[in-house]
């Protein structure tokens, strides 16, 4: 049985005993458990040997450093526990994980189960094209072939966009993100529609990154945030206050530049994804609005 499944099994056995007062738990034990992802570059990922890094991991480490000071602790042990898309919410709910620092979308359904900190990343669904194609907008896709990954809703977002009216394009699907990018890379598709951070990561690690670029209108917006247990306002306030201070001081912008614009480990390549306007607005006016609030705009 994989470690992640063992963790989930233990979590389910412990269901119903979650600490409602996380700050009290941290002060009494001198320990906090951080949920992390293994392959959500550059937000949260592993370098191997139990080392986890990324934009959201570093934000959480700074938040926990502030909480250590707030609680008057001389030391605070941080235990890193890898989580998956399937087990992250139950592990937060039952107290196995105190703070989840991965790549989780804040939406109304999840807000019924957990709490989210202030939005610190916003994924925008856009399209990647060959840099020489001349394509810069949805209205240039008529007669073209568009690829996306099986099981995603990206092409649905494309079809719903106002500029897609009267545009006739062919849809094809890759079995995973890497396969979809290969279809674009080999010229079998003219555009690949997906989350911008995933597109940027695939381009950065491709054989010839300068051959591709992300273009076009934003098709969908999803706020990504640090996740905590629900009904623990003191802990949420401590996390939000720390993040808000990082936003006011400009520290968040420096962390974004470090993880999205500079070379990052392990391959020492840059994602090269400048901060979008939606995230800039969220930093200027901090909020924990769910995805649905963005869709109404």
Tens digit of pLDDT for each residue in 149-195?
886 667 778 888 877 788 899 999 988 888 899 999 999 999 999 88
Structure tokens at 47: 């370098």
- Whole-prediction pTM: 0.79
What sections of the chain are H helices per DSSP?
Answer: 3-13, 22-29, 55-71, 88-93, 108-111, 154-160, 177-185, 196-204, 233-249, 251-256, 277-284, 291-295
Alpha-carbon distances, residue 258 vs 54, 56, 59, 65, 224 (angstroms):
9, 12, 12, 19, 18
Alpha-carbon distances, residue 61 vs 54, 68, 124, 241, 280 (angstroms):
10, 10, 25, 14, 22
The tens place of each residue's pLDDT in the chain, 297 residues long, gives: 444 444 554 444 444 445 579 999 999 999 999 999 887 889 999 999 999 999 999 999 999 999 999 999 999 999 999 998 789 999 999 999 999 999 888 989 999 999 999 999 998 889 999 999 999 999 999 999 999 888 666 777 888 887 778 889 999 998 888 889 999 999 999 999 988 888 988 888 788 989 999 999 988 888 999 999 999 999 999 999 999 999 999 999 999 999 999 999 988 988 888 898 889 999 999 999 998 898 755
> Nearest CA to 225 among 108, 52, 110, 103?
103
Structure tokens at 244: 């808000």
Q: Rg (Cα) of the chain, in Å, rounded?
A: 20
Percent of the chain with pLDDT over 70: 92
């Amino acid at each position: 049985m994989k470690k992640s499944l063992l963790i989930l099994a233990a979590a389910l056995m412990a269901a119903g005993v979650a600490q409602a007062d996380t700050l009290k738990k941290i002060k009494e034990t001198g320990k906090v458990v951080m949920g992390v992802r293994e392959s959500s570059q550059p937000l949260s990922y592993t370098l191997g040997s139990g080392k986890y890094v990324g934009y959201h991991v570093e934000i959480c480490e700074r938040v926990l450093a502030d909480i250590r000071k707030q609680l008057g602790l001389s030391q605070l042990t941080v235990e890193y526990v890898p989580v998956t898309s399937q087990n992250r919410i139950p592990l937060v709910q039952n107290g196995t994980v105190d703070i989840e620092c991965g790549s989780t979308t804040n939406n109304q359904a999840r807000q019924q189960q957990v709490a989210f900190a202030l939005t610190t990343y916003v994924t925008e669904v856009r399209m990647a094209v060959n840099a020489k194609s001349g394509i810069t907008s949805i209205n240039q896709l008529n007669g073209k072939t568009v690829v996306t990954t099986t099981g995603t809703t990206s092409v649905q977002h494309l079809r719903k966009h106002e500029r897609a009216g009267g545009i006739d394009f062919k849809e094809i699907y890759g079995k995973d993100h890497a396969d979809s990018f290969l279809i674009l890379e080999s010229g079998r598709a003219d555009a690949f529609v997906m989350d911008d951070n995933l597109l940027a990561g695939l381009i950065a690690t491709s054989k010839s990154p300068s051959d591709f670029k992300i273009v076009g209108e934003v098709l969908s917006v999803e706020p990504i945030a640090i996740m905590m247990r629900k009904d623990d306002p003191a802990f949420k306030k401590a996390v939000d206050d720390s993040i808000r201070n990082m936003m006011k001081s400009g520290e968040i912008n420096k962390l974004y530049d470090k993880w999205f614009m500079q070379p990052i480990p392990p391959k020492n390549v840059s994602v090269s994804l400048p901060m979008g306007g939606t995230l800039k607005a969220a930093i200027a006016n901090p909020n924990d609005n769910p995805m649905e609030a963005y869709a109404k705009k």
